[in-house]
Structure 1
Amino acid sequence: MNYDTFIDQVSQRTRAPSERSVELTRAVLETFAERLTGGEVLDLAAQLPRPLQLVLKPSPRTEQADRFGAAEFVARVALRAGVEEPAARDAARAVFTTLREAITGGEFDDVVTQLPRDYRGLVEPAMAPGATLRRG
């Protein structure tokens, strides 16, 4: 999936204009990168269009995952994107669903199954049949 298609899919799912969808996508991916280890971030980024790879690029401080729950994830997305938490939650769902469509194989499920169970409401709609979140 190319960059424009990715943003268009997020835009359709959030009912936001393209410019706003770019901001929402960036906020979700930056927050997701904080939650994942550097290796997981690299694996995910490798399958995305270049502009999104740059958003997911890990730094030395992101080698270790920052362990925060779904509520904190949504709060960070809301702060980054300058939106209320319900809009941030919707954006996260839209971006996760689009990520699932954009990458091949089970990479998305491999990444999200490592998240605690409280992320279920954000990522489960995007997961392949049979994939489950770990307990935690």
Structure 2
Amino acid sequence: MDHDEFIGTVQQRADLAGRGEADSATRAVLTTLGQRITEEEAEDVAAQLPMEIGRYLNDDVEHGQQFDFPTFKQRVADTAEASDVEDDPETAAQAVASVAVEATGTGQIQDVVSQFPENEGYGGLLAGVEEAET
């Protein structure tokens, strides 16, 4: 999957008005995910994504922070430069996660997120993945 296909699919799945909003959602979600996971995990995932997208996991990111899914969603909303994403960060996060899982073709993101403690609520992040696979 190339950059344009990735962004177009995020736009469609998150029902965003334009490609700019889809790019903003992708950047916000992957930057926040990069903050939550270790640098090594971020590098592994980034290596499997289009270069323009994978860099969001590592550029200016402090890795390995511990926060739950409600905080994840708030960080996505705060980082996004698109009102649709600010209003519904969970849908944007699910869309980006599902497209990233497809783009990597390895389930790497599912593996990373499944390692988060169950009580942190990250099952909501993968809800979009399950829908996209059906």
- TM-score, length of structure 2 as denominator length: 0.85
Provide the identity percentage: 36
Task: Report the CA distance shift for 1:80/1:3 in structure 2 as closer, same or farther (over 3 A).
Answer: same
1:47 is paired with a residue of what secondary structure? coil
2:111 pairs with 1:107: no
* Corresponding residue number in structure 2 for 1:87: 88
1:60 deviates by: 8.1
Root-mean-square deviation over aligned CA pairs: 2.0
Q: C-alpha separation between the residues in 2 aligned to 1:125 and 1:92?
A: 8
Give the letter aligned to residue 124 of structure 1: A
Give the letter aligned to residue 89 of structure 2: A
2:122 pairs with 1:119: yes
Q: C-alpha separation between the residues in 1 aligned to 2:56 and 2:72?
A: 16
Give the letter aligned to residue 108 of structure 2: E
CA contact 1:100–1:127 (8 Å) conserved in 2: no
Q: C-alpha separation between the residues in 2 aligned to 1:124 and 1:90?
A: 9
Q: C-alpha separation between the residues in 2 aligned to 1:60 and 1:102?
A: 22
Task: Report the CA distance shift for 1:122/1:29 in structure 2 as closer, same or farther (over 3 A).
Answer: same
1:48 is paired with a residue of what secondary structure? coil
Deviations 1:87-123 (A, max 9, x none): 1111001001111111122312221111232111121
Give the letter aligned to residue 112 of structure 2: V
- TM-score, length of structure 1 as denominator length: 0.83
> Mind listing any 5+ residue stretches in structure 1 that lack a counterpart?
129-136
Larger deviation, residues 39-48 vs 76-85: 76-85
1:67 is paired with a residue of what secondary structure? coil
1:85 deviates by: 5.4
Specify which structure has the higher proportion of helix.
Answer: 2
Q: C-alpha separation between the residues in 2 aligned to 1:60 and 1:88?
A: 19
1:59 deviates by: 6.0
> Mind listing any 5+ residue stretches in structure 2 that lack a counterpart?
none
1:86 deviates by: 4.8
Q: C-alpha separation between the residues in 1 aligned to 2:27 and 2:62?
A: 18
Q: C-alpha separation between the residues in 1 aligned to 2:88 and 2:109?
A: 23
